[in-house]
A and B are shown apart, each in its own frame.
Chain A
Amino acid sequence: MFAVTLDLRIFANNAELQKKGKGQPGDMLEKAAEQLMSCFRVCASDNRAGIDDSKKWGMLFLINQLFKIYFKINKLHLCKPLIRAIDSSNLKNDYSMAQRVTYKYYVGRKAMFDSDFKPAEEYLSFSFQHCHRSSQKNKRMILIYLLPVKMLLGHMPTHQLLRKYDLMQFADVTKAVSEGNLLLLNEALAKHETFFIRCGIFLILEKLKIITYRNLFKKVYQLLRTHQLPLDAFLVSLRMMQLEDVDLDEVQCILANLIYMGHIKGYISHQHQKLVVSKQNPFPPLSSVS
């Protein structure tokens, strides 16, 4: 009980600090972060107290607050030691769910920015699934980051989900990607560019282009019904998407990337200018790739 009250007080103090710091520009935030860090160090270095009343129970709360600040001031590299501290903590699964959800949300975001999409999906999924059902706002925030990651990994959101969380910006994107409609994708990205950039997911969504290429070429393959595909056919398909400045070399380049990443099983014969795809499962499902 003693420890609980103590922790509560620490929390309150820190919460105040954060409130103070958050309202103000970078400098104040950094100062608040400094204060929080000193609190965190105290908590983290509390090795004497028993597990029940250890100050370590305050770590995650503090870390989450620090995350908020660091994400705001764009200093993600400062998060690393905090994540390490939690990873090495034997309490990491015993913190309150609310704290863990928050923590995973930020760690997932960080992983996403670091292009570690698999772990990012893991963290964000956990966060989304365990987020309290009444916190629609939080769930939406999680989805903003979870969706691109999921899509990149081949899981397309349903229209229903997007509508529920008022994320219709993704609707066109989703449709374009799944149809291989590069034109629509470009339009959708351009249309909501501001929103996506503000969320920091524009670059992630841009990578969906690769998936879109894959889906587009898959359609070409399905139309031609052959495992020896002339490169001209792909060029035509790209031209159809109003990409006027593409040439055969670029087609080869795009195909090379898809093959390299495992989205297409096959090879290009430079001599014959043909893409030779595997007779079995030339376009493996996205979820099995990478």
Chain B
Amino acid sequence: MAANATQTTPTANWSYGAAQEGQVHENPEWEKARQALASISKSQSTTKTAQANRTTADVCVREAGQFQPAVTDSAAIQQQQYYQWYQQNQQQYPGYTYPYNYYYPMGPYGGAYPPNQYGVPPGPYPGPPTPNGQPPPVPGMDDQSSSYPSQPQPPPPSAPQPPQSPTTSEKPPPPPPPPIPPPPNSQYPPPPSQNAYNPNNPMPYPPGDPNQMRAYNHAQGRPNYGQSYQAQNAYQASQNNSQQQQQQPGQYGPGLGRGDLNKNKNQKQGQQLWHRMKQAPGTSAVKFNISKRPYQVQCSMVPNQTFPPGEQPSGMNPTPSSPATASAAPGAAQTRPQDWPQAMKEYVQRCFTACETEEDKDRTEKVLKEVLQDRLKDGSAYTIDWTREPLPELKAKQSRWEAVPSQRTLDSSISRGGNTVAASRGRGGGHRLGHYRNVFSQRSPSSSSSRSSSRSPSPSHSRHRDRSSQRHRRSDSGSQSDSSISSDLRPQLSRRNQKGGRGRGNDRDRGRGERGRGRGGKANRGRRNMDDTNSGMGKKRKGGNAGLDFHDPNREAKKQSRAARFHKQLRSEPLVLSINALDLPNGTQESLSWEDCPIVGTCQDITKNYLRLTCAPDPSTVRPVHVLRKSLQAVKTHWKTHQDYTYACEQMKSIRQDLTVQGVRTEFTVEVYECHARIALEKGDHEEFNQCQTQLKALYKENPSENIGEFTAYRLMYYIFTKNSGDLTTELVYLTPALREDPCVAHALALRAAWALGNYHRFFKLYLGAPRMASYLIDKFVERERKIALRAILKTFRPDLPVEYVQSALGFPCLDSCMAFLTGLGVTFFLSDPNKIDCKASSAVLAAS
């Protein structure tokens, strides 16, 4: 075991790496992914070891090796894969041709599959190699190629994997079944090794030949990957992760969608199958975890049919999932190789094009890396409908997930894939691209659900997710589903989920799934998936997979965090949906940025409460400009009559928000900001005032206003208020002569000069003659200046000083206010003449204060 464990860790890494590595070869980003994987693999390795131990009994050293790799991916991954495999196997078994495709598509399973395809091959390779693999594992660890070589057999699977994935229909059945059906360990090892190898055998991979593996990867898997990778090298990594997740969801979605795309009926069936499948995987999940790689191998193998589809997995998954899986798998497998490269490339390009800034690009790179890697691993990449894939932003969300990579891996490839995808989707949705978001959310729901379910702690979250996902799905399906593949995928996914749920016997899931079906099918599916996964988790746990147990604590924590994220995302998602719906018809996922796809509001309400946007805006709640004009008038009149600042501020902010959301930067925008700035100034709300000022400064560059001088003067005075001589200097540099002649600016400059020289006499003279609303601004620091001036005065004059002088010098409007000010500072007066200040005594008091 130890050996296995050790190997496993490396192998596991490799297995990940294998999938990833293939990608890695293509992309530098791989390294990052590798590191992440390595970390994961470590954790996984522990789990793997546990699994290995479990499996060891069942599986031989070979398996251990395989397992290790698989394990390395993480028990979770393995589990997922297993699930997938099971499902796939089941599906495959039932309908090999379809199943294959579906398998790949099968997000959850697919997640596994994708890994399988990518990872699977490696996994299988390692597995088969296990015997071979043990030695090979290390190499495999080193490189996919190495792993492949080390595990000649596996390599073939791996090579086949990608290619097989398509072909998987043949191979998948064998691998999944063997690994899945058999107890996690035993099954995995045997199936992978045998099945995978067998399948692999058909595969060209000379067992253990790294080169072969490479060749495979390159030839089959890599080419695809390569394409995608090349385009999305960085993305690949992200994608891999995401892919896994996405694959699960996506696979579900895609697989379902693609396979069943249009047919809800099929979806339902598919869902049922899925549920069954899932359940089977779930039950086997523990085993699967261990055997994930084996599954992968199997997957790769599957094509070869080495796995008796029904045999191992079949026991678990085959029966339930077989139909759907089978149908799905074949399609996925077939479509994958071809679609992946181009679609993925295009997808990557889209992602990058969507990036407005370099930061965005960096982010998208990361995300894409993860997503691609995951998907490649899962093999979902093939199945996923890349055109519908959410953009990088969503992926960015995934990145967050990435932070939890270890968890993912541990949790299980399935859960990972789903979670990451969901997370990414949800995030993405929340962010910029509603469309993307929607897509993600749709996919994610299923995936997330499965993942969440696997993670027992976050059932509620998962539910929420599912719901949200359902919503999204609904919306998506409603708006977009018709034409888009994603919709098809969704149905498939839902079917799968349903199947899995059924098989597992998760009443909740089923019920949900049914509801979801009724609604959009997708959401339900997602829920079902979640439930299924959960059930699977329970099964796995029951199975007593030590590895899983170990992971659980972390998983829970991770789950919670994810759940939290999801909650956030969830909010956004609904809104996003509407946007997505709009965008989706256009089919423009690319236009992520506000600027690219400005929203035009449809809301006719003149007043609207301000709510901080946490997600993409919903056009139905955004007011178009002509309505906003009325709104501004209404707010102004209301302000004049009621002087209700809270109301005015809220209304102004909502107007500003609507303008911002719609990307309106015109004279009207300037007017709104000026108006708000004045109101805020009048009420001394200098936070809002500052916001407006900042915006105005930028807006004036595009839309010069006659009030530019006024607000420049305010800015100068604000710098005086903050004593920011640096900014003051900069501002002076940019003052044009014309601007300097503006009465407001001239006044502000004179005020500044007086202030700089401590010429309080002049300062307060200017204060009393301040134009427009400048006196409101000066009010903010007039007390401060008065104190300073008073100190100088009291130090200068002896022996006494009439209050009247102070009053006039310091610009007090009346004697009483001056007296209040003086007494407030502890100024002492002569007893004999209360109108005269005892300068000496007062000066001491002031100096002390």
- With a cutoff of 8 Å between Cβ atoms, the chain A residues found around residue B730 in the complex are 74
Nearest A residue (CB) for B805: A270
| Cross-chain contact A115 with B796 (CB below 8 angstroms) | no
Contacts of B600 in A (CB 8 A): none
B contacts with A: majority SS? helix
B residues within 8 A CB of A197? Answer: 729, 732-733
Q: With both chains docked as a complex, state the minimum distance between the C-beta of B227 and any C-beta of chain A, in angstroms.
A: 31
A76 x B726 contact (CB < 8 A): yes
Whether B793 is near chain A, meaning CB under 8 Å from some CB there, is yes
The verdict on B704 contacting chain A, using a C-beta distance below 8 Å, is no
Segment of B167-175, B269-277, B337-345, B758-766 in the binding face = B758-766
CA of A255 to CA of B795, assembled, Å = 11
A267 touches B798 (CB 8 A): yes
A203 engages B728 (CB within 8 Å): yes
Is the Cβ of B800 less than 8 Å from the Cβ of A270?
yes
Q: Are B757 and A200 in contact (CB under 8 A)?
A: no
- Taking CB atoms, residues of chain B closer than 8 Å to A271 are 800
CB distance from A253 to the nearest CB of B (A): 4
For residue B797, CB closer than 8 A to chain A, the reply is: yes
| Pair B802/A270 contact, Cβ less than 8 Å | yes
The reply to whether the CB of B801 lies closer than 8 angstroms to some CB of chain A is yes
With A and B bound together, what is the CA distance between A203 and B752 in angstroms? 10
What residues on A are CB-neighbors of B798 within 8 Å? 267-269, 276
Q: Are A249 and B801 in contact (CB under 8 A)?
A: no
Q: A197-B733, A260-B796, A270-B802 are in contact. Are A254 and B756 (CB under 8 A)?
A: no
A259 to B796, CA, bound (A): 6
Residue in B756, B762, B796 whose beta carbon sits within 8 Å of that of A250 in the complex = B762
- Asked whether B801 lies within 8 Å of A270 as measured between CB atoms, the reply is yes
| B724-739 near A? 1/0 per residue, CB < 8 Å | 0111111011000000
Whether a CB of chain A sits under 8 angstroms from the CB of B753 is yes
- Residues of A near B796 (CB, < 8 A) are 252, 255-256, 259-260, 267-268
Give the contact-size bracket for chain B.
20 to 34
In the complex, the answer to whether A253 meets B762 with C-beta atoms within 8 Å is yes
Instruction: Give chain A residues whose Cβ lies under 8 Å from the Cβ of B759.
Output: 250, 253-254, 257
Q: How far is the CB of B694 from chain A (nearest CB, A)?
A: 15
B795 adjacent to A256 (CB under 8 Å): yes
Q: How large is the interface on A (under 10, 10 to 19, 20 to 34, 35 or more residues)?
A: 20 to 34
Q: Is A113 an interface residue (CB 8 A)?
A: yes
A259 and B802 contacting across the interface, CB-CB below 8 Å: no
User: Nearest Cβ distance between residue B762 and chain A, in whole angstroms?
Assistant: 6
| A residues 184-205 touching B (CB-CB < 8 Å) | 197-198, 200, 202-203
Contact B797 A269 (CB under 8 A): yes
**Are A249's CB and B808's CB within 8 A?**
yes
Residue A124 lies at the interface, judged by CB distance under 8 Å to chain B = no
- Give chain A interface residues in 245-266, CB to chain B under 8 Å: 249-250, 252-257, 259-260
A120 at interface, CB cutoff 8 A: no
Identify which of residues 791-848 in chain B touch chain A, using a CB-to-CB cut-off of 8 Å: 791-793, 795-802, 805, 808-809
- State how many angstroms separate the Cβ of A248 from the closest Cβ of chain B: 10
Cα–Cα, bound, A254→B730 (Å): 28
Cα–Cα distance between A249 and B761 once the two chains are bound (Å): 7
Cβ of A166 within 8 Å of any chain B Cβ, yes or no, is no
Residue of B nearest to A201 (CB): B729
Any B CB within 8 A of the CB of A150:
no
Which residue of chain B is the closest to A28 with respect to CB atoms?
B358
User: CA–CA, A59 to B760, complex, Å?
Assistant: 45
Say yes or no: A206 contacts B756, CB within 8 Å.
Answer: yes
Smallest Cβ distance from B712 to chain A, in angstroms?
16
- Find chain B residues with CB under 8 A from A250 CB: 759, 761-762
Which residues on A sit within 8 Å (CB–CB) of B805?
270
Q: Are B756 and A203 in contact (CB under 8 A)?
A: yes
Q: Are B757 and A259 in contact (CB under 8 A)?
A: no
Beta-carbon contact of B725 and A252 below 8 Å: no
Given A74-B730, A203-B756, A259-B792, A253:B761 Cβ within 8 A: yes
A206 — which chain B residues lie within 8 A by C-beta? 753, 756-757
Bound-state CA distance A114–B723 (Å) is 10
Q: Which of B447-476 contact A (CB under 8 A)?
A: none
B732 touches A202 (CB 8 A): yes
In the complex, per-residue mask of A201-229: 1 if CB is within 8 Å of any chain B CB, else 0: 01100110110000000000000000000
Q: Please, which residues of chain B bring their CB within 8 A of the CB of A259?
A: 792, 795-796
Shortest Cβ distance from residue A192 to the other chain B in the assembled complex, whole angstroms: 14
With A113-B725, A200-B729, A202-B732 in contact, do A257 and B756 touch (Cβ < 8 Å)? no
* Interchain CB contact (< 8 A) of A257 among B729, B733, B758, B808: B758
Q: Is the CB of A209 within 8 A of B725?
A: no
Q: How far is the CA of A50 from the CA of B288 in the complex (A)?
A: 51
In the complex the two chains form, what is the Cα distance from A276 to B797 in whole Å?
A: 10
CB distance from B733 to the nearest CB of A (A): 5
A104 to B762, CA, bound (A): 38
Given contacts A197-B732, A270-B805, contact A256 B797 (CB under 8 A): yes
CA distance A249 to B789 in the complex (A): 13
- Least distance between A151 CB and chain B CB atoms (Å): 15
Q: Which of B381-420 contact A (CB under 8 A)?
A: none
| Docked-complex contact A253 and B760, CB < 8 angstroms | yes
Residue of B nearest to A275 (CB): B796
Query: Are A209 and B757 in contact, with the CB atoms below 8 A?
Result: yes
Q: How far is the CA of A259 from the CA of B839 in the complex (A)?
A: 14
Known contacts: A202-B729, A270-B801, A270-B802. The answer to whether A207 contacts B795 by CB under 8 A is: no
In the assembled complex, the CB of A262 is this many whole angstroms from the nearest CB of chain B, namely 10
Residues of A within 8 A of B (CB): 31, 74, 76, 113-115, 197-198, 200, 202-203, 206-207, 209-210, 249-250, 252-257, 259-260, 267-271, 276
In order of increasing CB-CB distance, the 6 nearest A-B pairs are A253-B761, A260-B792, A256-B796, A267-B798, A259-B796, A256-B792
Additional 16 contacts, C-beta under 8 A, given A207-B757, A253-B809: A74-B726, A76-B726, A113-B726, A115-B725, A200-B726, A203-B729, A249-B761, A250-B762, A252-B809, A253-B760, A256-B793, A256-B796, A259-B795, A260-B758, A260-B796, A269-B797
Q: Can you list 7 residue pairs at the A/B interface with Cβ under 8 Å?
A: A197-B729, A249-B808, A249-B809, A252-B761, A255-B796, A259-B792, A270-B801
What residues make up the interface of B, taking CB atoms closer than 8 Å to A? 358, 725-730, 732-733, 753, 756-762, 789, 791-793, 795-802, 805, 808-809
